Chain A
């Protein structure tokens, strides 16, 4: 498999070396051609700094970046022609129409004159913006601007596309559409470098992820392998009726429970052995005269892995339950226990 990106000992110090702020410290990784590579990390971890170095916007303090065989420090021009960039903020020209934005970008990337209009029409149609092509972008919604920003980044058909936080702040429909778009681009052969702090998004989209924290790479692997490496972060989730804060003490006293987190109307009990814990939970419900509304076991999510690797305790950050459905593997649904 050929490499789209090779990064070796990459370091970035903001300001003067010695007195400046170390943002990225000796990181190294490879991105294979044709994959969706996720670059995850908490705020301030060095994600955007790394991406800005990869896209030539920042000069590394030391280290080497090779993209499609070209050393970025010496030979950036051919790389720039083959990459597209979608920054966190949709950097579209709001005073221009969608059509003019695409035409300008096509000129900037030297798309042959006779192909510009055809490509622009194709992109606007597939991104659902054709009807609005003559509307000034200042009248566009955030989601429409985002889609236009992606269209502008791919009008020259780049081999490598950098996406920085593509979906935060978008409504569910727009975010879903953009994720589909990323999958489609990747299926057509574009290598995607996705910078995000939305872990579930990375879980859904990425072939491999790198987790960066405090300027260091904490782990690189496929999402499933990363989860498998953290089997100790398993849990049992239970909803009891009537619910109440008093259950916390009793549940955390059950054998094998490392800690308990209240999550809405449910309790999550972290353990290394869910199978041993399940009968204890049903026994507790029965003994206390409680109705067991639901009982599930959960494997480690990518978020759990992320929190473990970034040094934050599992359960200290709110878990987005709506996004976690696919990883459930236990007894979900109504259960008539406790009687």
Chain B
């Protein structure tokens, strides 16, 4: 399913726009004319890439598959719903990891950034990609055949999560109230983890960041399962 999805869905113009170009646009729109070290920029770009790329897959691909009927093929196949959804999350995560590697290469080659803790970078990109891909599945589980119906609410939520997170204003510089809100966003932990990995320092414990990203990923798998069951029961 992974190879099939990568070949059939991920090179569509919508996916290239929302999953590949969007994080770069977001990064450059906030990075230009700001005094930022290369490593700091790379950490932000990596967090944004995993977040936007991984979370774009579900809301775009599942409604498209519903429209052409191929999603029914998967639902009727001999596998559990959880297996299907975990597979979809894995494809989105793999794609986000690939784009993150590209972002990393841009950072290292073009800006001369260095990586302080490579293993943490690998763990952060992997866990972050899976967690955000599962977040995208929540929107992909809205029973519609039109990706446009899902893009609007998913984009709204993702932007809100981005703005309240510590991507553009470091956690340490936030007012206590803003920091409390930032902890709601899983992107905050991904950003802090990237800071640990690239810069060698972060605000929270890197282990806490990893644990919370894993917890978010697992938690985000619950609504898609419930939403699919509900759709099957009510016939949506």
Contact = CB atoms under 8 A, between A and B. Distances in A.
A96 B76 contact: no
Given A57-B232, A110-B78, A91 B4 contact: no
Contact of A91 (B68, B78, B233): B68
Interface in B76-133: 76-80
A14 B235 contact: yes
B70 A93 contact: yes
Contacts of B69: 87, 89-91
A13 B236 CA distance: 11
Q: Which of B7, B68, B73 has the most CB of A within 10 A?
A: B73
B234 A20 contact: yes
A55 B7 contact: no
A29 interface: no
Contacts of A110: 78
Interface stretch (A77-85, A118-126, A177-185): A77-85
Interface in A13-27: 13-16, 20, 23
B11 to A, nearest CB: 8
Contact of A109 (B68, B78, B80): B78
B234 A15 contact: yes
A14 B78 CA distance: 25
A95 B7 contact: yes
Q: Which of A89, A108, A109 has the most CB of B within 10 A?
A: A108
Main secondary structure, interface of A, reads: loop
Nearest to B74: A108
A186 interface: no
Contacts, number: 68
A235 B78 CA distance: 50
Interface string B37-73: 0000000000000000000000000000000111011
Interface in A167-187: none
B75 interface: yes
A57 B77 contact: no
Contacts of A15: 234-235
B29 interface: no
A101 to B, nearest CB: 9
A96 B7 contact: yes
Interface residues on A, range: 20 to 34
A291 interface: no
B14 to A, nearest CB: 14
A129 B235 CA distance: 36
Contact of A95 (B8, B78, B232): B8
Contact of B4 (A14, A57, A104): A104
Contacts of A90: 69
Interface string A79-117: 011010101011111111000100011001110000000
Residue of B4, B72, B80 with highest tally of chain A CB at under 10 A? B4
A159 interface: no
A152 B75 CA distance: 15
B70 A91 contact: yes
A203 interface: no
B1 A108 contact: yes
Given A58-B235, A59-B233, A93-B8, A85 B73 contact: yes
A93 B4 contact: yes
Contacts of A208: none
> What are the 5 tightest A-B residue pairs by CB atom distance, in nearest-first order?
A91-B69, A80-B78, A14-B235, A95-B8, A81-B78
Interface of B: 1, 4, 7-8, 68-70, 72-80, 229, 232-235
Interface of A: 12-16, 20, 23, 49, 55-59, 77, 80-81, 83, 85, 87, 89-96, 100, 104-105, 108-110, 152
19 contacts: A49-B235, A57-B72, A57-B75, A57-B76, A59-B232, A77-B80, A81-B78, A85-B73, A89-B68, A91-B73, A93-B8, A96-B4, A96-B8, A105-B73, A108-B1, A108-B73, A108-B77, A109-B78, A110-B78
Given A91-B70, A100-B7, 4 more contacts: A56-B75, A57-B75, A58-B232, A91-B73
